[in-house]
Structure 1
Amino acid sequence: MSPRRPAIALLSFAAALAVSGCGADTSSKQRGPKGPPQVGYVTVARSSVPLVTELAGRVTAFEMSEVRPQVAGIVRERLFTEGAVVRKGQTLYRIDPRLYAATVDQARANLASAQATAEAARISAGRLRPLAKIEAVSAQDLTNAEATSRQADAAVAQNRAALETARINLEFTTVPAPITGRIGRSLFTVGALVTTSQADPLAVIQRLDPIFVDMQQSSADLLALRRSLASGGIAPTVAKVRLILEDGSDYGMTGTVQFAEVMVNASTGTVTLRAKFPNPRGVLLPGMFVRARFAQGVDRGAILVPQAAVSRDPKGQASVFIVGPDNKAIDRTVTAARAQGPDWVVTAGLQPGDRVIVQGTANVKPGAVVRPVAADTPQKIVVPAKKPS
């Protein structure tokens, strides 16, 4: 073995140690000392936040009328197109009028007979009056004659009322539209017998512009709202309602709340609220399911916190990290019962001026020191300078 080989191997080993030591020193200098984690915060303040409620609702016609016959008879004509818009007073059906026309003629004849009888009784009583004064006839005869005259006048009135009733029944053979609206299908055809006591209507007319939406709200929620309004913490507001249709799209037009029912549904524990909407294009149809969103009041002391800052434990209790004295993170329990867009509405647990951590919360521990910066501040990354080889 050559005496130079052990020397060469020893030199190679020393060189390798020197290179590895130099590399370790360079790596440690690049990492540098690890400081407090940087977090982004927002300073919270009180603001006026609308109390937005979303409720399920059903569309209801503004007006609805069941067209029913008021006389019995055979339907002779149907004078409308099914599904069309009909006007109030427009003739829809004609019922066979012959029987009612004959009744009118009979009532007219009875009236004429009663009028003739009354005229004769009135003349007879008039003739007896001067005779009774000279005692040519007894007072009883005059009394009887005057009573007969009054009875005849009453018979005239009765027959005149009977004639008017017959005329009205004759008019009822023409069935008009009670309201203006869109009429549905006809449930009776020409030739069908209709009566005044039948269960089914001839047709149904519904007025769809404007239109109602009936919403159901929990009586407990409504009671809490009224207490808040009474205490002054919540300010009343005009409820402009927006609708979400069955396909998830926005209706596009706003409505107004008209009233709330004065009784609670015993089976569901809810109160019905009614809103009115314009419906010029007929998009909303009776029976349609919708969701309504509207503000029932304005909370003037609420605090908005970005949703990314709020965490919840397994019991659902909300909490946030705030920057405390000496830049130490404090875990604060808050009350956040509802969301408002991208934020939680916090009603308890925070004070105006608190710095709530919204960025970097994954690296924060209670009581740990943090390096707070305003939210969305870009983080400075130091790139180590390269040493000349």
Structure 2
Amino acid sequence: MKNIVPAVTIALFLAACGQQEEQAAPPPPQVGFVTLQPQSVTLTTELPGRTSAYETSEVRPQVNGIVLARLFDEGDTVRQGQPLYRIDPTPYQAQVASARAALARARAAIASSRALARRYGELVKINAISRQEFENATTSAQQAEADVAAQQAALRSAQIDLARTTIRAPISGRIGRSAFTTGALVTAAQTQPLATIQRIDPMFVDIQQSSADLLRLRQQIMAGAVTRGGPQAARVRLKLEDGSTYPIEGTLQFADVTVDPATGSQAIRARFANPNGLLLPGMFARAEMVEGTQGSALLVPQRGLSRDEKGQATVMVVGQGNKVEPRIVQTNRAIGDNWLVTGGLKQGDRVIVEGAQNLQPGAQVNPVPYNPNAKPAPPQGGQPQGQAQGQAQSQAKGETK
């Protein structure tokens, strides 16, 4: 009996040690992964730009004179042909009257010259006058006809100058402040405009794109990695200065064929409808343009990518035997909540996006497909932390009893 008691004691001790070893070896940590599959994505780029009016006209006088009246309210919308200013017409009315009198005198002179040429034509036939006298009469009649034409042109010019004393809007649009008031002297050769009219519906947005980025895009298109075409390729979205998105999409109009040597950028122009006048000339904006479509693109969720001490982009993948493998990847842009990967990964790789904290390369894991809508997994051990603590406390109380 004395030998049996120590043997039982040793067996119980070994069983307890076995239980401690089992508790000391927890199951592999659970991680969530996504399997990379190629997909077609639309490539967009966001570039700075400035708004500019669709049409701009600087209103200037075409005759000299004193401004008698301003016929518009500053800031109003004016129509093409609408009177804007009235210049003193008195001297131009006098010029029209003088031109009419000169035209009447020329017409009176032409009547006598024609009659004289006809009479001399009859007399030269019977040799009553010399042929030189007849030719002089004919020439005088022709000169009288030319004088009538010249006086008609002078009268038309005087009438045009008289009409220009009423300055009209050359285009329809919003007119700004008036730089001259009633009583000011204006001249046809002045450089300062009286006012400026701008048509702001539609509006242009002038965008600057780096020539290096454009060259890269063209090379991708030539290589077949990116394709362009379709109705979306010409669409442009606009972000305003306050960060809001303009509700109406625009369309690309043209791209300049010359690169600015000072900035190394190419000018691109987009057109936007502006029915409510929300866009004003000179506003800063950011334009989001569709560059093209890339097929067979690999996207990695941003939460699955980190940076090492060298600044290189790295991800953790589930390798053979469900062991963690680090990968250095190359990315060039973000698309939504994902990174577009251009190197370092391939189709079918399982990228860890959840539970990768404190994992060491080569560690054994329990991979499960990542579900963004799933509830957080309980702590390792298969039961919630609160329930485990409650069982431990109950067990401690039982041992005390």
Aligned equivalent of 1:56: 48
Partner-residue secondary structure (3-state), 2:170? coil
Match of 2:109 among 113, 117, 124: 117
- Measured in 2, the distance between the counterparts of 1:362 and 1:201 equals 68
Match of 2:311 among 312, 316, 332: 316
- Measured in 2, the distance between the counterparts of 1:150 and 1:348 equals 89
For 1:355-370, list aligned pairs within 5 A.
Answer: 355-370=350-365
Moved over 6 A (4+): 24-27
Aligned equivalent of 1:281: 276
Match of 1:103 among 92, 95, 106: 95
- Measured in 1, the distance between the counterparts of 2:312 and 2:136 equals 97
Question: What is the CA-CA distance between 1:207 and the residue it aligns to?
Answer: 0.9
Match of 1:340 among 311, 335, 342: 335
Match of 1:353 among 344, 348, 353: 348
Aligned equivalent of 1:80: 72
Whether the 8 Å contact between 1:312 and 1:319 is mirrored in structure 2 is yes
Aligned equivalent of 1:382: 382
1:139 has 2:134 as partner = no
Opposite residue 239 of structure 1, the aligned amino acid is A
Aligned equivalent of 2:37: 45
- Measured in 1, the distance between the counterparts of 2:356 and 2:158 equals 87
Whether the 8 Å contact between 1:74 and 1:192 is mirrored in structure 2 is yes
Whether the 8 Å contact between 1:301 and 1:347 is mirrored in structure 2 is no
Opposite residue 39 of structure 1, the aligned amino acid is V
Question: What is the CA-CA distance between 1:63 and the residue it aligns to?
Answer: 1.0
**1:26 and 1:382, CA in 2 relative to 1: closer, same or farther beyond 3 A?**
farther
- Measured in 1, the distance between the counterparts of 2:369 and 2:24 equals 25
For 1:239-318, list aligned pairs within 5 A.
Answer: 239-318=234-313
Partner-residue secondary structure (3-state), 1:226? helix
- Compute the TM-score of the two structures, normalised by the length of structure 2: 0.86
Match of 2:184 among 192, 200, 207: 192
Opposite residue 362 of structure 2, the aligned amino acid is G
- Measured in 2, the distance between the counterparts of 1:345 and 1:202 equals 54
Show CA shifts across 1:66-101 (max 9, x none). Answer: 110000000001111111111111000100001001
- Compute the TM-score of the two structures, normalised by the length of structure 1: 0.89
Aligned equivalent of 2:175: 183
- Measured in 1, the distance between the counterparts of 2:377 and 2:198 equals 64
Aligned equivalent of 1:163: 155
Aligned equivalent of 2:82: 90
Structure 2: gaps of 5 or more residues? 1-12
- Measured in 1, the distance between the counterparts of 2:125 and 2:76 equals 74
Question: What is the CA-CA distance between 1:348 and the residue it aligns to?
Answer: 2.2
RMSD: 2.2
- Measured in 2, the distance between the counterparts of 1:315 and 1:239 equals 39
- Measured in 1, the distance between the counterparts of 2:313 and 2:215 equals 25
Partner-residue secondary structure (3-state), 1:80? coil
Question: What is the CA-CA distance between 1:104 and the residue it aligns to?
Answer: 0.5
- Measured in 2, the distance between the counterparts of 1:343 and 1:157 equals 79
Show CA shifts across 1:26-59 (max 9, x none). Answer: 9937834134332211011111111111111111
Structure 1: gaps of 5 or more residues? 1-20
Question: What is the CA-CA distance between 1:218 and the residue it aligns to?
Answer: 0.7
- Measured in 2, the distance between the counterparts of 1:27 and 1:177 equals 97
Aligned equivalent of 2:198: 206
**1:314 and 1:165, CA in 2 relative to 1: closer, same or farther beyond 3 A?**
farther
**1:314 and 1:267, CA in 2 relative to 1: closer, same or farther beyond 3 A?**
farther
**1:62 and 1:315, CA in 2 relative to 1: closer, same or farther beyond 3 A?**
farther
Question: What is the CA-CA distance between 1:184 and the residue it aligns to?
Answer: 0.8
Question: What is the CA-CA distance between 1:265 and the residue it aligns to?
Answer: 1.9
Percent identity, aligned pairs only, is 52
Aligned equivalent of 1:9: none
Question: What is the CA-CA distance between 1:369 and the residue it aligns to?
Answer: 3.1
- Measured in 2, the distance between the counterparts of 1:162 and 1:53 equals 60
The range that moved more, 294-303 or 96-105, is: 294-303
The range that moved more, 91-100 or 367-376, is: 367-376
Opposite residue 351 of structure 2, the aligned amino acid is V
Question: What is the CA-CA distance between 1:25 and the residue it aligns to?
Answer: 6.3
Whether the 8 Å contact between 1:302 and 1:345 is mirrored in structure 2 is yes
- Measured in 2, the distance between the counterparts of 1:108 and 1:45 equals 87
